[in-house]
Chains A and B, each alone.
Chain A
């Protein structure tokens, strides 16, 4: 049996929502980062599934790019977290509200 694209989409949606809720609920910056990775993965999954359903290889190409960008983002993001931690000794996002209006 070929699992139809809808199931993959549903799984991706579930992963995405979990990631998003985690992002909103957790205050640890690292965990928030991981939630972002979750959401990215969910989106990647939809791209792969949709590509397959539409017989289009470009879905996978897009995923490839997203992976690269995600890697770059993690590198810089973690570097920033480390830099902040060195100054503030905290990994809580709520401590970082300098840009308050």
Chain B
């Protein structure tokens, strides 16, 4: 029951945030919308016992990444580049068609009542997916240790790359 209410609440805020991202003229508002969505999703993670991931979501995403976003927005200036003339006049038309197809598809699926989206689902054992740090760490440092190392390397490289890009003093064309 609690999860049901939580789900509805958080789903609404997440969707509202997402729509804000897309429609806001000012990128700062978009960023705020995204922030809302990220928080809502983090709550939904907790609702599904993914504690560690939820924490990371808040710290890394809502914390670090969003700060970075805002920083860049401020750096570039709150530029409303969307106001300039549209170079792809047919873009909205095509996107509309795609959106229509998606809606039709979704409606079709919903109306057919087939909500069983995880067909192999079994009896849920909450303990099995209790995402504590310990529980996550175990597969992470056994089965996935190679991937873990690789991502570590990736992070280092991307940090170095970002610095290199920032230091880049190319001639202005």
Contact = CB atoms under 8 A, between A and B. Distances in A.
Contacts of A78: 68-69, 72, 162
B104 interface: no
B3 A1 contact: yes
Nearest to A92: B81
Contacts, number: 241
Nearest to B163: A79
B91 to A, nearest CB: 7
A86 B143 CA distance: 43
Contacts of A18: 15, 18-19, 21-22
B99 A56 contact: no
Contacts of B118: 5-6, 9, 49-50, 53-54
Interface residues on B, range: 35 or more
Interface string B141-167: 001100100010011001101100110
A71 B38 CA distance: 14
B82 A28 contact: yes
18 contacts: A3-B3, A3-B7, A10-B110, A21-B95, A24-B98, A44-B53, A54-B120, A57-B128, A60-B131, A64-B53, A68-B154, A74-B68, A76-B162, A76-B165, A82-B165, A83-B168, A87-B172, A91-B81
A7 B131 CA distance: 21
B38 to A, nearest CB: 7
B112 interface: no
B24 to A, nearest CB: 8
A22 B12 CA distance: 18
B37 to A, nearest CB: 6
B27 A92 contact: no
Given A28-B80, A34-B69, 4 more contacts: A57-B139, A67-B61, A68-B155, A72-B158
B21 A6 contact: no
Contacts of B7: 3, 7-8, 11
Contacts of A31: 21-22, 24, 27, 30
A54 B72 CA distance: 40
A71 B95 contact: no
A51 B135 CA distance: 14
Contacts of A9: 117-118
Contacts of B38: 37, 41
A82 B115 CA distance: 44
